Amino acid sequence: MPHSNAEVVVAAVQLQSQAELAANLDRCAALVGLARRRGAEIALLPENFAFMGSEDDKRAIAERLDEQPTSDGPIAAALRAMARTHGITLVAGGMPERSDDPDRPYNTCLVVDAEGRFAARYRKIHLFDVEVGDGQSYRESRSTTPGDRAVVAEAAGLRLGLSVCYDLRFPELYRALADGGAEAFVVPAAFTLLTGKDHWHVLLRARAIESQSYVVAAAQHGVHPGGRRTYGKACIVDPWGDVIAQASEGEGIALAVVERSRVVSARASLPSLAHRRPIAPAIS
């Protein structure tokens, strides 16, 4: 598909990743190929696309993300191959990247351009330490080192604000990304079934409306090792807050055209970003 700075076709991938690394990467490759055949220039993979298993095993597969392909582990090598083979920009959300603490890798969203080069990376800032009442205990901080920097990346001519899953509940991150020039946000996620059914669409639409940007949200769905259940509903939301594409049940993709003119129009017709005023913290 010819590249256009005005319109970019984007795909959000929906997976049911398990604890078998090679099988998960094969499914990613198949769905990225499907997205490209349908015209996508950018494909977003969900959080934990490469592995959904125990934290000990996740630490064991964490990789250094060096610029040189000769030092790639299996996940990085597979991502480069997918991008080059299909001539597509990959945003690979939520993979274990080694940190200075061997017990706590980063949860990293990696942008790989169509030539297979690492174009940007974002390390998840907000870690999921909650009890949501689904029988599972989530303590991401025990096994993950948090990032500390917001990242806006250029991808196929589009300015993407990078985030991962639980970040979605923190609007100040998306406001910083919008201030940094983002026209679309990516949200690779593995939302729990319990929280997803009530909060997923509400939060995605809110982030789009308040920042007048597209939101591209890839998702895990179904049952995973240890009885973990995720919500699915990979989707794309426009700057007015409308869901313009959504994946069906099971593995698949949500595909839509991101039009930069829609971002410009929304921000011009209802200029809430320009109307912001500094507010001091309340003191009682």
**CB neighbourhood size of 134 (10 A):** 14
Active-site residue identified among 28, 41, 47, 63? 47
DSSP state of 109: E
Contacts of 94 (CB under 8 A, 6+ apart): 46, 47, 48, 49, 107, 108, 109, 124, 164, 165, 188, 189, 190
Catalytic residue among 28, 97, 124, 233: 124
Catalytic residue among 165, 183, 233, 251: 165
55 catalytic per annotation: no
Q: Is 263 helix (H, G, I), strand (E, B) or coil?
A: helix
Cα 207–chain centre separation:
14
Active site residue 109: no
235: annotated active-site residue: no
Is-contact 216 244, C-beta < 8 A? no
Mark 100-133 as b/e (b = at least 16 C-beta within 10 Å): eeeebbbbbbbbbbbebebbbbbbbbbbbeeeee
Helix (H) or strand (E) holding 178: helix 171-179
What are the counts of helices (DSSP H) followed by strands (DSSP E) for the chain?
6, 16
Radius of gyration of the chain (CA): 18
Helix (H) or strand (E) holding 40: none
Residue with the two structure tokens 């939302």: 191
Q: Which residues are catalytic?
A: 47, 124, 165
